[in-house]
Amino acid sequence: MAALPLFRAAGRSLALAAGLAALASSASAEAEPSRIVSIGGSITEIVYALGEGDRLIARDQTSIYPPEALALPDVGYIRQLSPEGVISVNPDLVIALEGYGPPAAKEVIEAAGVPLAVIPEAYDGAGIVAKIEATAKALGAEEKGDKLAASVKADLDAAEDAAAKVESPAKVLFVLALQDGRIMAAGGHSHAQAIIEMAGAENALTGFDGYKPVTDEAVLEAAPDVILLMDRGINDNHDAQDATLLALPAVASTPAGQNKALIRMDGQYLLGFGPRTAQAARDLSGRLAELTAGGSN
């Protein structure tokens, strides 16, 4: 969904917000919210995992799991929201992952007076548990939250124990995108590095944080054993994209390129850092083991 031209529409949006603010403030503070907009794929997964999905009335574009979430109205991408879209469904609670926006959209949503719970983002086990607890608290479902948090923590602990037993960690290059023949890759302090390490492997690139374009020399020096990419859906021509990537001279000279060792995984599953993350780490670990043992992807 394309974002609205926020600044051009600010007056109209703020007027709508003001009109709905009175309606929102008239609701009882003690009333359990039943018309909830969820912004952030991991937050939506948590709401459903808590058994509270029937209280959702809209979601953002990253909220693609479970499949029933796709039937909800779409209010835009998490960082490019349509504030009018959020307000127009008349929510009594918005649960948003930290980093939602843009700022102009946040201003409009907050001006509407709708209760807002912002859940801290994190990409480690403790952060996932904290997300669950904070989301459950916002829903007034603390008991369910405690049970889910305990179950997910046990699963994450088991995945961590398994990762610690990997004797020869594979070096993994996470490729976010290929732009004009140049690789956009993951460095430190990123969701990609975190899931790679949870799987008992190593991020092939160090020396920078986040996601940045990297030089051919950096790829050659990294010498990855495996290249990891997101599966972006059935409309992507993955075979052609993979062939293009493997044909790059810098990639072709690496162990990953020579062995055509590529892994694609669903992006939300891989990088969402929600209730399914431990399983995603195990799945990635298993596929890495197959490839580095001489299997084929």
What pTM did the predictor assign? 0.85
Length of the chain counted residue by residue? 297
Residue 76 DSSP SS3: strand
Mean pLDDT, residues 122-134 taken together: 95
Provide, rounded to the nearest whole percent, the portion of the chain with pLDDT above 90.
Answer: 78
Phi/psi at 74 (5° precision): -100, 120
What is the Cα–Cα distance from 132 to 258, expressed in whole angstroms?
42
**How high is the pLDDT of residue 11?**
44
| pLDDT tens per residue, range 174-189 | 999 998 889 999 999 9
How many Cα atoms are found within 13 Å in the side-chain-facing hemisphere of 205? 30
**How high is the pLDDT of residue 236?**
64
Give me the domains of the chain, ranges plus CATH numbers: 10-155 (3.40.50.1980), 171-292 (3.40.50.1980)
**How high is the pLDDT of residue 103?**
92
For residue 90, give the nearest of 40, 17, 12, 141 by alpha carbon: 17
The answer to whether 20 and 41 are in contact (CB under 8 A) is no
Residue 16 clears pLDDT 60, i.e. is over it = no
Phi/psi at 25 (5° precision): -70, -20
Per-residue confidence at 30, pLDDT binned at 50, 70, 90?
low
What is the Cα–Cα distance from 82 to 6, expressed in whole angstroms?
8
Residue type, 51: G
What is the Cα–Cα distance from 119 to 126, expressed in whole angstroms?
14
Per-residue confidence at 18, pLDDT binned at 50, 70, 90?
very low
**How high is the pLDDT of residue 3?**
39
**How high is the pLDDT of residue 238?**
80
Higher pLDDT, 29 or 222: 222
With the CA atoms of 277, 278, 280 and 284 taken in that order, what torsion angle do they form, in degrees rounded to the nearest 10?
A: 140
Name the helix (H) or strand (E) containing 213. strand 211-214
CA geometry: angle at 214 spanning 246 and 264, to 5°? 45
